[in-house]
A and B are shown apart, each in its own frame.
Chain A
Amino acid sequence: LPPPPFLSSWHPGVRLLEMVKVKPLSAPLQDIRNTVGNIPMEWYQDFPHIGYNLDGKKIYKPIRNKDELDMFLEKMENPDYWRTVQDKMTGADIKLTDEQVELVQRLQKGQFGDVNFDPYEPAVDFFTHEVMIHPVTNRPADKRSFIPSLIEKEKVSKLVHAIKMGWIKPRKPKDDTPTYYDLWAHEDPNSILGRHKMHVPAPKMKLPGHEESYNPPPEYLLSEEEKLAWEQQEPAERKLNFVPQQFRCLRAVPAYPRFIHERFERCLDLYLCPRQRKMRVNVDPEDLIPKLPKPRDLQPFPTTQALVYHGHSSLVRCLSISPSGQWLVSGSDDGTVRFWEVCTARCMKTLPAGGVVKSVAWNPNPTICLVAICVEQSVLLVNPCLGDKLLYGATDQLLESYKAPEEERVQPVQWVTATTEEHGKGIRLVIQHSKALKQVTWHGKGDYFASVVSDNSNMQVLIHQTSKRWSQNPFRKSKGLVQCVLFHPIRPYFFVATQRYVRVYNLLKQELTKKLMTNCKWVSSMAIHPGGDNIICGSYDSKLAWFDLDLSTRPYQLLRHHKKALRSVAFHKRYPLFASGSDDGTVIVCHGMVYNDLLQNPLLVPVKVLKGHALTLDLGVLDVLFHPTQPWVFSSGADSTIRLYT
């Protein structure tokens, strides 16, 4: 009897297995049955046996001593070779019967194992779709189907309660208005809020340039170095936020990986960046340059280098010129003082001073031929014996006519008459101080002179009188490190420059009249206008301050035209000129016109930058000096030369 069709359709595999297994068992030849069960047979690989039979005896593997050649021969000779299968359980060769071969072929084709099975039998429903007149079951209806449900009632009452209490709201009516309509149909300019006047609209994004193109001109592509520099820059510092690239065709252009980032950053900018209206300065730079009178109209002033005075072997610290303008004296670090004729640049005389010469000053009185020289701790008064013989003879006489006072006065310094040897050199008097000296300067009349000692006590400034050979200390208290001092050319005023201030003392009343704030860090030098109302101060922080004494105690103008520290400044005696020398090796000559009209402010115009001195040891020009009558300027430099510009 064949199995019922639906069974086979459910479990065809099971039945097939049975069929395959059953058939060899039914073969009467040998009844070898392996009892090891369903285990992987390779466990018995290394043993001579392959399992156990029903009696518990070992089943030995059949002897297989065929080599490849034998196998091949058998394959060629045996007509049933193709239907011979090895039984894994016993290791024996089995020849498949025709039925078995057919079964295998059917299975390979995907057909059912049973030949007689019809998979396309018509289906029979258990229940029909037609309504039948009798119920399927004869069970009577429940009672609960006749009475209203309590649970439902509870639910309804809950809902009713919730509606009454307003917990449940009726469904909202659907909104029928269209999503989009003409929003700006009634544009009313009056309805614009005040806010909109304050509102700063977001700036638009920058439009792309040529370099952003997918195929830019070749000059916009970055070279290797530029690319490296681009990579090393901070992302915020980069000028371009991408590397320009070139693609041969549009097809080769990939997606930009930072597209979403850039949109996101734009969003952040829009709502997190403060906005501000910035007025862009739209100035023509030429308009910024002040309109000054042309230097050509302000002549005369020195323009070219005329003479160079060679002779010193070290840096030339100081210069001074005779009142007639014929002789020049210079002091240098090589320990000599040299006297030059101005017009020929000839060194007339060399005076070994025996130390570094810090300052020289020619007596401004034209009837006296006397030079004060600062050497270490003493001031030498030297008669250079140049020029008119009558004149320097008179000077000697004047000095010798001195008679010592009867009672000796206590003096801060020692006045010593020069020895004969020194007298031969020209030295007439030696004023010995207790400390090293910095500067010496004459009063306009030529009798008094002041010296500055580098010291921090009240003895820094001393005023000496040549004719009486006596000195005095004008200050009771030290007000700071004195840089330089100056006599007023006309009135009895005395200027003392400390590091940051210039104090003006009245010598007659013996009191402080003014204190000028220089606005500089460290004043280096000072010069006074021959009119006496204007002062210029040079400072080591490369500023030049012009003071108008009538105007205020602050600088009228602060010029920053030098690049390095100013070493010295000078006024011309006749022409409205002043000059400044600096460490950057230049002398800048400026036109400084002072008007008699008090209402008109001085006019300052730089007219010439004179270059010539070579920089040595980071020092350039050390001293500048104007010729007393001509518009010429001398400068002494660290390159051990003196130059004359005319």
Chain B
Amino acid sequence: AVPRRLCILKGIYPHEPKHKKKVNKGSTAPRTFYLLKDIKFLLHEPIVNKFREYKVFVRKLRKAYGKSEWGTVDRLKNNKPTYKLDHIVKERYPTFVDALRDLDDALSMCFLFSTFPRTGKCHVQTIQLCRRLAVEFLNYVIASRSLRKVFLSIKGIYYQAEVLGQPITWITPYAFAHDHPTDVDYRVMATFTEFYTTLLGFVNFRLYQSLNLLYPPKIDGQADAELKAAEGKEYAMDSESYLEKLSALSASLARVVAPTHEDEVEMDEFPVEGETAEQMDARKKEQEALEKHKKLFEGLRFFLNREVPREPLAFVIRCFGGQVSWDKSLCIGATYDVSDPSITHQIVDRPRVGQQVVGRYYLQPQWVFDSVNAKMCLPVADYFPGVLLPPHLSPFVTEQEGDYIPPEKLKLLAMQRGENPDEESEEEDEEEEEEEEDDNDKEEEEEEDESEKEEEMKLKKMEEQKTQSTKALPVKVTAGKVRLEDKQRLEQEQQSEEKRLAIMMMKKREKYLYKKIMFGKKRKVREANKLAAKRKAHDTAVKEEKKKSKKARRA
């Protein structure tokens, strides 16, 4: 177990040998191989001695317990050997950016551990530490407004923040009790967590420092006083409620130096060499869009109902400059009441709202997340309580050419471009159809389709001609155009045949590669087509149902 822990802590991973048989004494059975260099590197680690000391300590302690020598037990416990992982963190991540790049797993793990029950599985201190670090990180993200994307998946909630230009993605589970699986080795996870908490602590420290915030975080004095006044004497001790106040995410943090607005100097622009004016403009535009995105909810006041998940919503809203509050009995840190007339949005997740206050929107929580992903406040009509919600799309997908794009995404893109979605929808549908046809062409399978298409074209032409002839008296019946088309087609055929013949002459390896690439492409197209067809079928089914219901209503 010790080498395993060492490997985890030091980040040593096995290697795939170049010649498996040579290394494995002629057999090809699967085995894990470590580099000799790595193992030697592990042996030099000073923490190995600490582990040995700890082992000795445990043995002595057990012996003392066995002999009921309580004095010895006390003495041993006082001298319990400890170890630190600081130097390992520094060694594995020599620069801060390296550490940020590897933060994804650390954050996800800490968020998972912070939701564990305080019994069994792992030490309570670990859980508390994880919770503390996670809350600190969330507070940093709020303070720096660096959240970019949120996604509600069936597994949990994904967040993506951009810290110092590095995208950091983490996932938090939904707030339910865990059904602890039996086939998971919690010791391995605990070892990872041990390292990750160290890493995250240092990263948090540095991040707080970069924003001039106090670490460990202190709630801003003013806000603190407000909070205290609001909360009264329901909470027993300051030390206990401190973390909870922090995790309420409703108050801003204290700074080392009080912020002055004069400090915000406008950045000078340095033209990068080899950059055209267009690129500069694009960059500038991007910057502006980002600034706008950061201030998405500025000036809006939200109120969270009892049934919506408080922490993720409060986090997201605060990240984009909104003010948020909740029922006082729900959690510490509520800043205003339901009855506050200045509330603009109330987040509700129940089919019907009993008493509605005029002057605020009652919305489902998906609106907040969709708005964040769309980088704009979406129209509220689709998100009223009890309304069938529009699909929640993943913000992490960037469609390449030829990929399937769901119609909702198209609508969203159009809206981002500043077009009115209602007018566009029909056109988009047409576009889609065209796309589908293109896809069909790509598949090169159905010559029938092509011929059909051609026939259609011919028919259209005939029709045109007919209409023309009716208009301008029948003079000419046939034209040479049809033949022209034939020529084109012949040319196409010839080209495709040439290609086929050339493929015949390819070398075996290249042919294999070519076939593989083409197979991949075709599969992609096939999948896209399948999704499009499914969507089409679904839409038609929905339409028919609507028609039926209309008829039924009329009747």
Identify the A interface with B (CB < 8 A).
168-169, 171-172, 175, 179-184, 187-189, 191-193, 195-196, 199-202, 204-205, 207-210, 212-220, 223, 242, 244-245, 247-251, 253-264, 266-268, 270-276, 281, 283, 285, 288-290, 292, 294-296, 559-561, 588, 604-609
In the bound assembly, the distance between CA atoms of A74 and B552 in angstroms comes to: 70
Cβ contacts A to B, 26 pairs, < 8 Å: A179-B201, A182-B209, A183-B202, A191-B94, A207-B397, A208-B155, A210-B406, A216-B391, A218-B391, A218-B534, A242-B154, A250-B364, A255-B178, A256-B156, A256-B174, A267-B8, A267-B188, A271-B4, A274-B13, A275-B13, A283-B513, A283-B517, A285-B517, A289-B499, A561-B504, A605-B501
Contact between chains at B307 and A295 (CB < 8 Å): no
In the bound assembly, the distance between CA atoms of A188 and B94 in angstroms comes to: 8
In the bound assembly, the distance between CA atoms of A254 and B93 in angstroms comes to: 37
Contact of B156 among A199, A216, A259 (CB under 8 A): A259
Contact between chains at B154 and A559 (CB < 8 Å): no
Contact between chains at A193 and B396 (CB < 8 Å): no
Contact between chains at A180 and B105 (CB < 8 Å): no
Distance from B185 Cβ to chain A, minimum over Cβ atoms (Å): 7
B553 proximal to A (CB < 8 A): no
Contacts of B391 in A (CB 8 A): 210, 213, 215-218
A290 with B78: in contact, given A219-B538, A250-B349 (CB under 8 Å)?
no
- Chain B contacts with A in 72-91, Cβ cutoff 8 A: 75, 78-79, 82, 86, 89-91
Contact between chains at B14 and A183 (CB < 8 Å): no
Contact of B406 among A199, A217, A604 (CB under 8 A): A217
Contact between chains at A290 and B397 (CB < 8 Å): no
Contacts of B466 in A (CB 8 A): none
Contact of A274 among B33, B153, B202, B538 (CB under 8 A): B33
The total of interchain contacts (Cβ-Cβ below 8 angstroms) comes to 260
Identify the B interface with A (CB < 8 A).
4, 7-8, 11-16, 32-33, 41, 75, 78-79, 82, 86, 89-91, 93-96, 99, 101-102, 104-105, 108-109, 112, 151-156, 158, 169, 173-174, 176-181, 183-185, 188-189, 192, 201-202, 204-206, 209, 215, 307-309, 349-350, 364-366, 388-389, 391-394, 396-397, 406-408, 494, 497-506, 508, 510, 513-514, 517-518, 521, 531-532, 534-535, 538
Contact of A267 among B75, B89, B189 (CB under 8 A): B189
Distance from B363 Cβ to chain A, minimum over Cβ atoms (Å): 12
Closest to A188 in B: B94
Contact between chains at A606 and B504 (CB < 8 Å): yes
In the bound assembly, the distance between CA atoms of A605 and B501 in angstroms comes to: 8
Contact between chains at A187 and B94 (CB < 8 Å): yes
Distance from A263 Cβ to chain B, minimum over Cβ atoms (Å): 5
Contact of B15 among A220, A248, A254, A274 (CB under 8 A): A274
In the bound assembly, the distance between CA atoms of A188 and B209 in angstroms comes to: 19
In the bound assembly, the distance between CA atoms of A281 and B32 in angstroms comes to: 27
Contact between chains at B517 and A245 (CB < 8 Å): no
Distance from B160 Cβ to chain A, minimum over Cβ atoms (Å): 8
The 9 closest A-B pairs by CB, nearest first: A255-B176, A207-B396, A561-B504, A219-B535, A219-B534, A274-B16, A212-B153, A217-B391, A184-B96
Contacts of B192 in A (CB 8 A): 267, 270
Distance from B413 Cβ to chain A, minimum over Cβ atoms (Å): 14
In the bound assembly, the distance between CA atoms of A17 and B522 in angstroms comes to: 95
Contact between chains at B105 and A266 (CB < 8 Å): yes
In the bound assembly, the distance between CA atoms of A242 and B153 in angstroms comes to: 11
Contacts of B7 in A (CB 8 A): 271
Contact between chains at A217 and B201 (CB < 8 Å): no
In the bound assembly, the distance between CA atoms of A247 and B349 in angstroms comes to: 12
In the bound assembly, the distance between CA atoms of A273 and B94 in angstroms comes to: 23
Distance from A89 Cβ to chain B, minimum over Cβ atoms (Å): 55
Contact between chains at A204 and B104 (CB < 8 Å): yes
Can you name 8 extra interface pairs (CB under 8 A) apart from A195-B41, A210-B397, A250-B309? A184-B93, A212-B153, A212-B154, A250-B152, A260-B112, A272-B32, A561-B504, A606-B504
Distance from B51 Cβ to chain A, minimum over Cβ atoms (Å): 17
Contact between chains at B504 and A208 (CB < 8 Å): no
Contact between chains at A262 and B104 (CB < 8 Å): no
Distance from B54 Cβ to chain A, minimum over Cβ atoms (Å): 14
Contact between chains at A256 and B173 (CB < 8 Å): yes
In the bound assembly, the distance between CA atoms of A217 and B538 in angstroms comes to: 10
A213 with B153: in contact, given A219-B531, A260-B181, A560-B508 (CB under 8 Å)?
yes
Contact between chains at B188 and A295 (CB < 8 Å): no
Closest to B307 in A: A251
Contact between chains at A217 and B408 (CB < 8 Å): yes
A213 with B16: in contact, given A259-B112, A264-B184, A290-B505 (CB under 8 Å)?
no
Contact of A193 among B91, B494, B531 (CB under 8 A): B91
Q: Which of A209, A213, A266 has the most CB of B within 10 A?
A: A213
Contacts of B534 in A (CB 8 A): 218-219, 223
Main secondary structure of the interface of A (DSSP, over half): loop
In the bound assembly, the distance between CA atoms of A181 and B94 in angstroms comes to: 15
In the bound assembly, the distance between CA atoms of A106 and B521 in angstroms comes to: 92
Closest to A606 in B: B501
In the bound assembly, the distance between CA atoms of A281 and B12 in angstroms comes to: 28
Distance from B241 Cβ to chain A, minimum over Cβ atoms (Å): 22
In the bound assembly, the distance between CA atoms of A251 and B386 in angstroms comes to: 12
Distance from B403 Cβ to chain A, minimum over Cβ atoms (Å): 10
Distance from A161 Cβ to chain B, minimum over Cβ atoms (Å): 15
Contacts of A256 in B (CB 8 A): 154-156, 173-174
Contacts of B497 in A (CB 8 A): 609
Contacts of B96 in A (CB 8 A): 184, 187
Q: Which of B153, B169, B349, B508 has the most CB of A within 10 A?
A: B153
Contact of A184 among B33, B95, B108, B350 (CB under 8 A): B95
Contact between chains at A220 and B531 (CB < 8 Å): yes
A168 with B178: in contact, given A192-B94, A213-B153, A605-B505 (CB under 8 Å)?
no
Q: Which of A183, A245, A294 has the most CB of B within 10 A?
A: A183
A288 with B514: in contact, given A213-B393, A260-B184 (CB under 8 Å)?
yes
Closest to B309 in A: A250
Contact between chains at A212 and B94 (CB < 8 Å): no
Contacts of A290 in B (CB 8 A): 502, 505-506
Closest to A296 in B: B494
Q: Which of A205, A214, A242 has the most CB of B within 10 A?
A: A214
Contact between chains at A255 and B174 (CB < 8 Å): yes
Contact of A214 among B15, B152, B181 (CB under 8 A): B152
Closest to B390 in A: A215
Contact between chains at B154 and A263 (CB < 8 Å): no
Contacts of B408 in A (CB 8 A): 217
Contacts of B75 in A (CB 8 A): 168
Closest to B175 in A: A255
Q: Which of B104, B180, B215, B392 has the most CB of A within 10 A?
A: B392
Contact between chains at A209 and B514 (CB < 8 Å): no
A270 with B392: in contact, given A217-B406, A256-B156, A259-B155 (CB under 8 Å)?
no
Contacts of B205 in A (CB 8 A): 180-183
Closest to A255 in B: B176
Contact between chains at A606 and B153 (CB < 8 Å): no
Contacts of B178 in A (CB 8 A): 255, 259-260
A264 with B13: in contact, given A193-B91, A215-B391, A259-B112 (CB under 8 Å)?
no
Contacts of B173 in A (CB 8 A): 255-256, 259
Contact of B104 among A168, A181, A183, A205 (CB under 8 A): A205
In the bound assembly, the distance between CA atoms of A254 and B364 in angstroms comes to: 17
Distance from B14 Cβ to chain A, minimum over Cβ atoms (Å): 5
Contacts of A214 in B (CB 8 A): 152-154, 392
Contacts of A201 in B (CB 8 A): 101-102
Distance from A246 Cβ to chain B, minimum over Cβ atoms (Å): 8
Contact between chains at A213 and B152 (CB < 8 Å): yes
Distance from B13 Cβ to chain A, minimum over Cβ atoms (Å): 5
Distance from A64 Cβ to chain B, minimum over Cβ atoms (Å): 61
In the bound assembly, the distance between CA atoms of A180 and B15 in angstroms comes to: 33
In the bound assembly, the distance between CA atoms of A452 and B513 in angstroms comes to: 43
Distance from A249 Cβ to chain B, minimum over Cβ atoms (Å): 6
In the bound assembly, the distance between CA atoms of A296 and B155 in angstroms comes to: 60
